[in-house]
Structure 1
Amino acid sequence: MRIQLLSDLHLETEVFTPEPAPGAELLVIAGDVDSTWAGLNAFARWPVPVLFVAGNHEFDGREWTDAWPALRERCEQLGLRLLERESAVISGADGRRIRFVGTTRWCDFDLFGEVHRERAMRAASYFVKVMRATRRGQLFDPAAVRDEALSCRAWLAAELAKSPTDELAWDATVAITHYGPSLRSADPRYGRQPGTASFCNADDDLLPLADAWLHGHLHCRHDYRVEHGAGRSTRVVSNARGHGRKGESLGHDGAFTIEV
């Protein structure tokens, strides 16, 4: 299956017109399309199915518990399929069935280990202020983000561990998260600093359970393989566009596709 991948378009400030990639059978959007949600309209009547995993900025200035059902309704109206702790099995033109396992997978701040968690959470206070989101009326602070992240992690681990059955079979598994699954996805501009734990998770132990892992959040592109031995590997890919004013969109290919 040929998959077009987009993320971090930030259409609330950026000028970018997404277009279908020639030959793509599916579009995956890995979050941060538009904090106002208006940019989601660009994907209405898309010629192939669209899977969407929300990014953190989809919740800017919103009450977290209200935003989820509202975002789901908006996606349904536009013909997009929102995946949040949900899976979908889709057949490609070649007949292979691909399982897509999707969740935002908020950051749990354990990227550098438990001993560095407190420092990472202090660094996250800046990003919380940018989001201005609440959860059940309280600030969606680093502790609340970690709480949601752990729930996402538990679901993701259990879902990826499932095996095909006679009732529901698949030939390959693709994980979709907004946050990066490994320190290997860190932005090289910032590297190993506490703030990086707000962008990546230490989900390296889950990588062997997926044939490919698609993500966004970091405003740089990634395409690397993690080898697991016995000829098995996981391809980790991000096609984030980022902010033009920072030069992050230079070299971005809106028609980028991968084959699974």
Structure 2
Amino acid sequence: MRLQLLSDLHLETEDVALRPAADAELLVLAGDIDASWRALERFDAWPVPVVFVAGNHEFDRRELRETWPTLRSRCAELGITLLEREELTLTGRDGRRVRFLATIRWCDFDLFGEPRRERCQRAARYFVEVMRATRDGQPFDPAAVRDEALACRAWLAEALARPSDADATVVITHYAPSFRSADPRYGRQSSTASFCNADDELLAHADLWLHGHLHCRQDYVVEHPPGRRRARTRVVSNARGHAFKGEAEGHDGLLCVTV
């Protein structure tokens, strides 16, 4: 199955030309498409099915609990499939069945281990202030983000452990599953834990892991020890980012990944 992958378009401020890839069978939107949601209309009547995993900025200045049903309803109006802690199985043109497991997978701040968790949460306050979201009427602060992240991870770990007769398993998250995806501009800074999770042990349960969030492109293969479910997992991000920061330079809006 050929998957066109886009994320971090930030259409609330960015001017991006969007075109369907000629040979794609599915469009995957891996979050931070438009904080205002208005540009989601640009994916209405897209020539292939569209699967959308929300990013953190889809919640900007919104109440978390209320946003999910409202965003889901908006996507349904446009024919977009919003997935959050949900599974979807599709059949490609080649007859192979592909299982998609999707969740935003908020950051749990354990990227560098428990001893650095508090420092990483302090570094995250800047991003929380940018979002200005709430949960149950209270600020969606680092503690609340971690709480949501752990729920996402628990669901994903359980879903990956379930037996499946699909020919391939694809995980879609907004946040990255490994430090390997870290933006080289920031490396091991505590703020990187606001972008990547330490989900490396889950990688062996997936053939392909798609993500966004970091404003840089990634495409790497993780080899697994003998005896694991899969010998290798490919991890791909096609995040665009902000043009004024130079992050969009070299971005390929027609990138397709085969699974």
Asked if Structure 1 and Structure 2 have the same fold, meaning a TM-score greater than 0.5 normalized by the shorter chain, the answer is yes
1:115-144 deviations in whole A, cap 9, x for unaligned?
100000000000000000000100000000
Aligned residue for 1:3? 3
The aligned amino acid for 1:201 is: N
Question: 1:191, CA displacement in angstroms?
Answer: 0.4
Relative to the length of structure 1, the TM-score reads 0.97
Superimposed CA distance per residue, residues 179-208 of structure 1 (whole angstroms, 9 cap, x where no aligned partner): 000000000010001000000000000000
**Pairing 1:249–2:245 present:** no
Aligned residue identity for 1:194 = S
Q: Tell whether the 8 Å contact from 1:4 to 1:256 is kept in structure 2 after alignment.
A: yes
Secondary structure class of the residue paired with 1:229: coil
Find 1:223's aligned residue among 219, 226, 229: 219
Tell me the residue number matched to 2:179. Answer: 183
Partner of 2:193: helix, strand, or coil? helix
User: C-alpha displacement at 1:18, in angstroms?
Assistant: 1.4
Give identity over the alignment, percent. 68
Q: Which digits, 9 at most, give the CA deviation of each residue in 1:66-105, with x for residues without a partner?
A: 1110000000000000110001000000000000000000
Map 1:89-128 to 2 at 5 A.
89-128=89-128
Q: How big is each residue's C-alpha offset from its partner over 1:136-193, in whole Å with a ceiling of 9 and x where there is no partner?
A: 10000000000000000000000011112xxxx3100000000000000000010001
The question of whether the paired residues in 2 share the 8 Å contact of 1:17 and 1:42 is answered with: no
SS in 2 for 1:209: coil
The match for 2:206 is 210
Q: Match for residue 33 of structure 2? A: 33
For residues 3 and 116 of structure 2, the distance between their equivalents in structure 1, rounded to whole angstroms, comes to: 37
> Which position in structure 1 is the counterpart of 2:43?
43
Q: Distance in 2 between matches of 1:255 and 1:126?
A: 33
State the alpha-carbon separation in 2 of the partners of residues 60 and 28 from structure 1.
21
Query: How far does residue 17 in structure 1 lie from its aligned partner after superposition?
Result: 2.3
Q: Distance in 1 between the 2:171 and 2:89 partners?
A: 12
Runs of 4+ in 1 over 2 A off after TM superposition: none
Q: CA deviation at 1:229?
A: 3.4
Partner Cα separation in structure 2 for residue 34 and residue 50 of structure 1 = 15
- Structure 1's unaligned 5+ residue stretches are none
Task: State the secondary structure of the residue aligned to 2:89.
Answer: strand
The answer to whether residue 147 in structure 2 is matched with residue 147 in structure 1 is yes
Q: State how far apart, in whole Å, the 2-side matches of 1:101 and 1:19 are.
A: 25
Q: Once superposed, what is the RMSD of the aligned Cα atoms? A: 0.7
- Asked whether the 8 Å contact 1:30–1:55 carries over to 2, the reply is yes
CA distance in 2, matches of 1:40, 1:186: 27
Task: Choose the corresponding residue for 1:194, options 190, 201, 219.
Answer: 190
> How many aligned positions are there?
256
